[in-house]
Amino acid sequence: KQEVTQIPAALSVPEGENLVLNCSFTDSAIYNLQWFRQDPGKGLTSLLLIQSSQREQTSGRLNASLDKSSGRSTLYIAASQPGDSATYLCAVKETSGSRLTFGEGTQLTVNP
Amino acid sequence: DGGITQSPKYLFRKEGQNVTLSCEQNLNHDAMYWYRQDPGQGLRLIYYSQIVNDFQKGDIAEGYSVSREKKESFPLTVTSAQKNPTAFYLCASSIGPTLGETQYFGPGTRLLVL
């Protein structure tokens, strides 16, 4: 059974710092990996989706990388801002079926 | 505007009561999903539907029921058999069940037990 783990569970940084969020998964036979953002009490917003054949995806100050063989993905946030404060979740979609398996999330606080 | 709506935003359940959470989408998506989120945890799949009049159990279906009579609607009923229903419930949809498609999420319903 696929298991997804995110470290750290919480992270607090000063504004302007570059930071990395980590996601690991136990079964490397994935089809894609997705990073989501969740604001308190809200639904999820998709940030980046990386197909299994890709190594990374970029959107603005966000860069997500994927190393399928080692079962790891990282989300890099450059020049963090207070508006980046949220919980970030990664989810993997397996080769068979349509379900997503989610990690527990990393709660990020960017202090002004 | 296209999107997914969930109602109500907050829902209170009394002991032994069944309650129904609404999920509607106007994105013309075939697939719809229900997730449960507990504090500090990721999302767990309750039920999903890949097409009208068809649905499958997810990882934690016990104590829940769904229907999919219309493409745009996928209501979730939390029955009295669900002994620990307090959680944040999220509905999502995707274009179809085929692989690689992004899921779009609604704003969620928070269910509390009185």
pLDDT bucket at B112, cuts 50 / 70 / 90: very high
SS3 call for A82 = helix
Percent of chain B with pLDDT over 90: 75
- pLDDT value at residue B98: 63
Within 8 A of B94 by CB-CB distance, chain A residues are 98
Cα nearest neighbour of A6 on chain B: B42
For A15, list phi and psi in degrees, rounded to 5.
-55, 140
- pLDDT value at residue A97: 60
pLDDT bucket at A38, cuts 50 / 70 / 90: very high
Least confident of A30-44, A54-68, B31-45, B90-104: B90-104
Q: Is B63 exposed, middle or buried (0-12, 13-18, 19+ CB in 10 A)?
A: middle
Position B75 pLDDT exceeds 80: yes
Taking the C-alpha atoms of residue B6 and residue B83, their distance in angstroms, rounded to an integer, is: 23
Position A96 pLDDT exceeds 70: no
Within 8 A of B45 by CB-CB distance, chain A residues are 99-100
- pLDDT value at residue A94: 82
